[in-house]
Structure 1
Amino acid sequence: MHGLQIWVALPKQHEEMDPEFFHVEKEQIPKWTEGDLQFKLVAGEAFAKKSPVPVCSKLYMIEIKSTTKQVVNIGDQLYGESGLYILEGAIESEENIYGPKKLLIARDSKLCEFTMHKNSTIYIFGGYPFPEKRFIDWNFVSTSKERIEEAKQKWETQSFPKIKGDETDFIPYPSRSNK
């Protein structure tokens, strides 16, 4: 069993929206098979399909599993920038082999062609970049450095509203020496 925690930056006009939670049943997630590849469209739009997971921008997150070693060329189905995370197995690209827990980035998703090894699972995510620059610090992403500083202060003083039913221990903001 595995889990991925994915943080998605919001468009500037949605940065201050209230937090929301949505549950989508696994049966609602679009899935299909092409040859020896199994696809799931976790979020967004791609391959002429749309996930029921709500998003605020044009993006995609796709799980691909292979049962055999094969070339995957899906760039014409994607748009914007892309990231590729290898959960298990390996991929080959430009005569390099990348194994588990590696993240590859392409500014042009049209370049998304690689060879998946047998019994591999990868995640491809991406979309159109925002026009404004984003700043990131730990779990905080914003178009404003000042807003990130405010969020860090609220986190350190535990001023964020508590999530009902979440009885986990407080995780302190990582010190600069731990980064």
Structure 2
Amino acid sequence: MTWMPDLDPQPGDAGACDLIDTIIVPRARDLGGFEVRRALPSPKRQMIGPFIFFDQMGPAEFLETGGIDVRPHPHIGLATVTYLFDGEIHHRDSLGSDLPIRPGDLNWMTAGKGIVHSEREDPARRKTRRRIFGIQSWVALPIHAEETAPTFEHVGRANLPVLSDKGASVRVIAGELYGARSPVKTASETIYADISLEAGRSIPIDATHEERALYTVEGEVEISGERFGAGQLLVFKPGDAITVRAAGGPARFLLLGGEPMDGPRHIWWNFVSSSKERIDQAKEDWKQRRFDTVPGDETEFIPLP
């Protein structure tokens, strides 16, 4: 069955400069042996749909030192979205969630009025040579959901829909795409997908979602004759269908976006809110240790900056 229509560009189609609103090339920061590249928030753009934070972790290789070891820390007003291409991270939170995140799995933790979590590597893994590569993103919650009770949802890779056709493979992480829907519940209309293309193959991106962007993960993609390498966030203009082609070899990218957020958001450290006063309250609550603790990881924590 064919799920992907043929939408190759025709002579006279819009050029890439007419389709792309903003190009964000995140700067790399060294966090003790591995790099993090932050695409959002950016001076050029705060949000794309509900996505307000977008970090690429790695790719990096650890020997028997270093690694991921993020002590317990709080969040409000957002959902953290962790998706790995390589490696493993152990997630624990104040709801009692305690499990590893592996490549292709989705961790969707809704902070709401407040949650605490840690992200570490298991001790046995830290004694081996291993890799880490993935994306940590946050989605802002609409105003009506900012103070909801925190929740946690883990969806294994086997339960995320995958579509394959004409040299294209799409894993729908959140939302709906090409008629397939992720089982994860979102507070607002959201699209998030992991797309791989064989060399020379292309895929259409329709204009259903008002705010859309593409983050290049591996290889080069071509849009209306212009090529873009890995590690770039391409923010599309609304209203135009787009065709993305793998140029020169296989390519992989993430498609993200959704409906515009219902107003601006304030972001400070790990807190997101439509209210500055609410963030000030969260600061004081963390300082006074009023947040819940993480079972099995109660000893350490990250102090307020």
Q: Normalization by structure 1: what TM-score? A: 0.82
Distance 1:151 1:107 in 2: 35
Q: Is the 8 A contact 2:224 2:243 kept in 1?
A: no
Paired residue type of 1:15 = E
Q: Which residue does the alignment assign to 2:285?
A: 154
Residues matched between the structures, number: 173
Taking only the aligned residue pairs, the percentage that are identical comes to 34
Question: Are 1:123 and 2:123 matched, yes or no?
Answer: no
Question: Secondary structure of 1:89's partner?
Answer: strand
Distance 1:100 1:128 in 2: 26
Q: Is the 8 A contact 2:223 2:242 kept in 1?
A: no
Question: Are 1:99 and 2:198 matched, yes or no?
Answer: no
Q: Which residue does the alignment assign to 1:177?
A: none
Distance 2:134 2:140 in 1: 20
Report which stretch shifted further, 54-63 or 114-123: 114-123
Which of the pair is proportionally richer in strand?
2
Taking structure 1 as reference, are residues 113 and 156 closer, same or farther at Cα in structure 2, changes over 3 Å only? farther
Distance 1:169 1:106 in 2: 42
Report which stretch shifted further, 139-148 or 30-39: 139-148
Question: Secondary structure of 1:21's partner?
Answer: strand
- Matches for 1:30-49 after TM superposition, within 5 Å: 30-49=161-180
Report which stretch shifted further, 14-23 or 149-158: 149-158
- Matches for 1:129-148 after TM superposition, within 5 Å: 129-148=260-279
Q: Is the 8 A contact 1:133 1:143 kept in 2?
A: yes
Taking structure 1 as reference, are residues 13 and 116 closer, same or farther at Cα in structure 2, changes over 3 Å only? same
Taking structure 1 as reference, are residues 146 and 96 closer, same or farther at Cα in structure 2, changes over 3 Å only? farther
Uncovered stretches (5+) of structure 1, i.e. residues with no partner: 175-179
Q: Is the 8 A contact 1:11 1:130 kept in 2?
A: yes
- Selected match of 1:74 from 205, 212, 219: 205
Paired residue type of 2:213 = G
Distance 1:109 1:61 in 2: 18
Larger radius of gyration: 2
CA shift at 1:51, angstroms? Answer: 0.6
Bigger relative contact order (CA 8 A; separation at least 6): 2
Query: Deviations for 1:122-157, whole angstroms, at most 9, x for unmatched residues?
Result: 111111112322222333221112222322343455
Distance 2:272 2:174 in 1: 20
Q: Which residue does the alignment assign to 2:139?
A: 8
RMSD between aligned alpha carbons?
Answer: 2.4
